[in-house]
Chains A and B, each alone.
Chain A
Amino acid sequence: MKTLPERDVVIVGFGWTGAIVAEQLTLEGLDVLALERGVWADTSTDYAVNNAQDEVRYRYRDELFEDLSRETLTFRNTTDQSALPMRMLGSFLPGTNVGGSITHWNGQAWRFLPSDFQARSHNLERYGEGIFGENMTVQDWGVTYDELEPHYDTFDKICGISGKAGNLNGEIQEGGNPFEGARSSEYPNPPMEMVAAPLKFAAAARELGYKPFPGPSANMSQAYTNPLGVQLAPCSYCGFCEKYACGNYSKATALTTIVPALMRRDNFTLRTGAMVLRVEKDAQNTRATGVTYIDSEGQEYFQPAQMVVLCTYITHNVNLLLQSQIGEPYDPSTGRGNVGRNYAYQAMSGADVFYDDFAVNPYIGAGALGQVIDEFNGDNFDHTGLGFIGGGYIAQWQTNGRPIEHHPVPEGTPKFGAGWKKAVRENYNHTIGVGAHGAVMSHRGNYLDLDPTYKDAYGRPLMRLTFDYKPNEIAMSAHLTEKVAGIARAMGGREVKVSEMKVPYDIAPYQTTHNTGGHIMGETPTDSVTNKYNQSWDLPNLFLMGAGNFPQNPGYNPTGTVAALAYHSMQAVRERYLRDPGPLVQA
């Protein structure tokens, strides 16, 4: 194995957070190296507007997603089952290559509620200990909304998020989300142009007394130049966002907001085809010394660094900790150990409204083109007597009318054949979907560890995911779905088809790429892997980015918070850590 010259910083994985970390630390003049297992990719070269909209290539042949023949995970619902390897992508779609998973997101760019960050203490104070069901391991984040607000704001401006503020410096604004935490400034871009379906949803919601507002969108409502001088173009509403790279420079991603500026900095190096196998540490177990990676020709290298930042997808971040024996692996039987603990996901359900004549033109879409209500999210409503905590937003997003993927049909339609075709023909242009996007609270039985049986292409044990929906989600989702159905029925269609959350959790059908937890942040080393600055409690020169830091998963899409946490962490590194490299929070 060859040892390479030492770098100031090595970043493992070059997606959103890798780009944010590199952008922030190169500003300090540090010599920053990013290692990416995939290949170079950018909009100009790879995602041309005349071939980016290819369902077979991207959605069904997984061009942007990770290669399960090299590494995957095994899955089971509960500890009494044997986990089997996930051999096809289904429920979630982690990405690969330069730009990471965010290249194929929809662009729904949320902030969490202030109370989400105090999920334990807030609920305890309002409802008492009894509100938490058995074995729920909900905890506070150690960081507050107010601390993150400036970083959410930075991220909004880097991306050019389109939307309407509902709470500007504490003043409630007409037309925005009245429940959101106070914003220090209005969205950098106005809301997207609404189309028929979200307007129909908003009208019904308003009729029922709710306060609908335009969803916060990373699809550009107009041309935008961000603070790094990188430009985004107006969205053309082509409806190829989630599972696709945007060919029009219209969706904020690492590639369209940071990477072009970052690549011009002399103190930044990106090395592709570099698969990191483990983090190395000193003999005293006090600091990370660098990482070991393998290149595409099978050669292993040790890359020494003063600081190591893990920016891979959450399961891989957790995997790297476990493979490198950093921290104590979580043991569900004793509740001891934190690495792998509090894995969570998202509770999705919805309803389709079918019309006879009302046309929706679903092919005019965008990943975050929609109207939302937030009355049933977080603790925006009284949970007394409901038997659960948390909630979710209810939205009508007109994301796409993609011909292979999008064919809503009413209840009772045959699964194939002439009857199915007829139903598709009749309903394609006359269906509106309404969805609930619900929280998953952490639970003692949901976690990540190393599989005892299966190994990856590098000879390492696979990650093992043990996850199922627990009583809190089941009750919460039933409540939310009932509200969804209520709005759907008020939307004036011919019929409504309600889709409940599927229990037990099934890893096969696509649901959402919102996996969280496993290297959670918190107030003390006894209940978390990192402090509030994403800094490892065990090795203070090791930082972990991503949704793995979430102690539980609130009822919003995670990206905005992932980015805000990364900026928050990097501010502390730039202002404090670099002067005095050591723990930013004393244990």
Chain B
Amino acid sequence: MKTHLSALCLATALPAAAVAQDANTWSTIERGLYLTRIGDCAACHTVEEDAPYAGGLGLPTPFGTIYAANLTPDEDTGLGDWTADDFHTAMSRGIRPDGTRLYPAFPYTHFTYVTRDDTDAIYAYLQTVDPVRDRVPEADIPWPLSVRTAMRGWNMLFFEEGELAPVADKSDTWNRGRYLVEGLAHCSACHSPRNIAGAEKDGAQSYTGGVIEGWFAPSLRDGTGGEGLGDWSEEELADFLRHGRNGRTAAFGPMAEVVDLSTRWLTDDDLEAVVTYVKDLPFDAVDAEAPEALAADDPTMTQGEDIYATQCAACHGIEGDGIENQFGAIAGSSLVQSSNPRTVVRMVLEGARSVPTDAYPTPHAMPAFDWKLTDEDVAAVTTYVRNAFGNAASPVDADTVADIR
């Protein structure tokens, strides 16, 4: 893929208007491949490795299961008879050629920001993949939401169509980052909390962390401790997105897949743009009352310390500093100190696996401890790691562990 990547750098470096506008040119299709990766389309639309973009993945939502569409150019079951206009309408307005509305599990709320030029390139690429004849199941959504016109009301409340106007006093790099992060990359789909209607919360609450597939996707804002990436350097964030690791931690769970399918493909310029934009997300410490660390002689802490010493310290170190690029550091970890302890509890219970990349080919894994530790044990050790080594975060109780288990 190296040759593809360098070709892409070339293609994306040119202003879009300067590229010949024949949708079938090699460079357009390659750009479409790149953008399809940045959109992480395969995460939902590819289930079988040998049938890319044939759809069929069931996405469990609080409202029912929605199945990702077949994007291959099969005429009956895929996008074979769609035009570029049709595709753009689906991307920018969430409406199919037959007028039915898509559920916002397909993130048209983000893809509406994608330029016509870019949706054309994605369309051109998708028309080149092997057609797969496979009808995906209808969404399993109860009435009245099963009436797709109901989405009209949802859209009135939560959807604003249209591209982003550049922010004049920000750099081109920042604006490019915003275009990617808010648009194709749709980072806030996981990293923002959602309201009762399933819509992402916006404004100051966006990017403050969200629950996805039972994991807590941490805050990307500028706070520190459990409140964001404030103490990550730009280089650390870039390493994380490109290589799945940095000196602090490794991507695992859904983010491991995002790195593998999407962010590792970012060109140098786009990676810089994404990092610039994310590192500029402000932290609004309005109701943030910095938690105080539990006392080291608290009984839960001493119980947790014993468990940590026997079960955890061999990899994560007696001082919680981990092994750079191999075993995550617990000291200072935003994830460990997240206001929502779901992820750290889940990691202890079921383990986690990092994603192998060219820079870090070994998929280091944290083993599962659910068979070895009781709810009380897990509560104690997670409370301990949230409050030892300079960390400070709310304690975890056994009921919380039982709920997550």
Contacts and interface: CB of A to CB of B under 8 A. Distances in A.
Interface in B317-365: 323-327, 351, 353, 356, 358-365
Given A44-B363, A256-B362, A50 B327 contact: no
Given A50-B372, A223-B324, A248 B362 contact: no
Contacts of A248: 314-315
Interface stretch (A225-233, A269-277, A444-452, A559-567): A225-233
Contacts of B368: 48, 50
Given A228-B361, A260-B361, A260-B362, A233 B323 contact: yes
B367 interface: yes
A48 B314 CA distance: 12
Given A44-B365, A249-B364, A49 B325 contact: no
A234 B365 CA distance: 16
B382 to A, nearest CB: 16
Contact of A260 (B315, B324, B325, B363): B363
Nearest to A44: B365
Contact of A249 (B311, B326, B359, B372): B326
B356 A236 contact: no
Interface in A217-242: 223, 228-231, 233-234, 236, 238
Nearest to B358: A264
Contacts of A478: none
A193 to B, nearest CB: 15
Interface string B195-212: 000000000000000000
A50 B369 CA distance: 8
A39 interface: no
A51 interface: yes
Contact of B361 (A43, A230, A233, A238): A230
A305 to B, nearest CB: 25
Given A48-B351, A238-B314, A249-B326, A229 B359 contact: yes
B353 A44 contact: yes
Contacts of A256: 362
B314 A264 contact: no
Given A231-B326, A248-B314, A44 B364 contact: yes
A572 interface: no
Nearest to A247: B367
A248 B365 CA distance: 10
Nearest to B373: A50
A395 to B, nearest CB: 26
A230 B362 contact: yes
A184 to B, nearest CB: 27
Contacts of A231: 325-326, 360, 362, 364
Contacts of A50: 311, 367-369, 372
B112 to A, nearest CB: 37
A contact patch SS = loop
B234 to A, nearest CB: 23
A53 to B, nearest CB: 10
Interface residues of A, number: 25
Nearest to B314: A236
Given A249-B326, A264-B358, A233 B365 contact: no
A48 B367 CA distance: 6
Contacts of A43: 362, 365
A238 B315 CA distance: 12
Interface string A264-303: 1000000000000000000000000000000000000000
A233 B326 contact: yes
A45 interface: yes
A233 B328 CA distance: 12
Contact of A229 (B311, B324, B358, B364): B358
A94 to B, nearest CB: 25
A261 interface: yes
Nearest to B313: A236
- Interface-centre pick from B326, B358, B372 (highest chain A CB count, 10 A): B326
Contacts of B372: 50
A257 to B, nearest CB: 9
A51 B327 CA distance: 18
A234 B361 contact: no
Contact of A51 (B326, B363, B367): B367
Contacts of A263: 356, 361
A48 B371 CA distance: 13
B360 A229 contact: yes
Interface string A368-400: 000000000000000000000000000000000
A197 B254 CA distance: 47
Contacts of B364: 44, 231, 249
Contacts of A230: 361-362
A264 B361 contact: yes
A48 B361 CA distance: 18
B326 A260 contact: no
A259 B32 CA distance: 33
Contact of A45 (B311, B359, B361, B365): B365
Contacts of B351: 48
Contacts of A249: 326, 362, 364
Contacts of A51: 367
Contacts of B360: 229, 231
Contacts of B367: 48-51, 247
Nearest to B359: A229
Interface string A137-174: 00000000000000000000000000000000000000
- Interface-centre pick from A51, A231, A263 (highest chain B CB count, 10 A): A231
A230 B372 CA distance: 30
A223 B359 CA distance: 16
A42 B356 CA distance: 13
Contacts of B324: 223
A50 B311 CA distance: 7
B354 to A, nearest CB: 8
Interface string A37-62: 00000111100111100000000000
Given A48-B351, A234-B323, A236-B314, A264 B365 contact: no
B353 A233 contact: no
A264 B358 CA distance: 8
Contact of B326 (A223, A236, A247): A223
A208 B201 CA distance: 77
A17 to B, nearest CB: 20
A233 B327 contact: yes
Interface in B291-327: 311, 314-315, 323-327
Contacts of A44: 353, 362-365
17 contacts: A44-B353, A44-B363, A44-B364, A45-B365, A49-B314, A50-B369, A223-B324, A228-B361, A229-B361, A231-B326, A231-B364, A233-B315, A236-B315, A248-B314, A249-B362, A263-B356, A264-B361
Interface of B: 311, 314-315, 323-327, 351, 353, 356, 358-365, 367-369, 372
Given A231-B325, A236-B315, A238-B314, 15 more contacts: A44-B363, A44-B364, A45-B365, A49-B315, A51-B367, A229-B360, A230-B361, A231-B364, A233-B323, A247-B367, A249-B362, A260-B356, A260-B363, A264-B356, A264-B358
**Closest 7 pairs between A and B when the two form their complex, measured CB to CB:** A48-B367, A44-B365, A260-B361, A236-B314, A260-B362, A261-B361, A50-B367
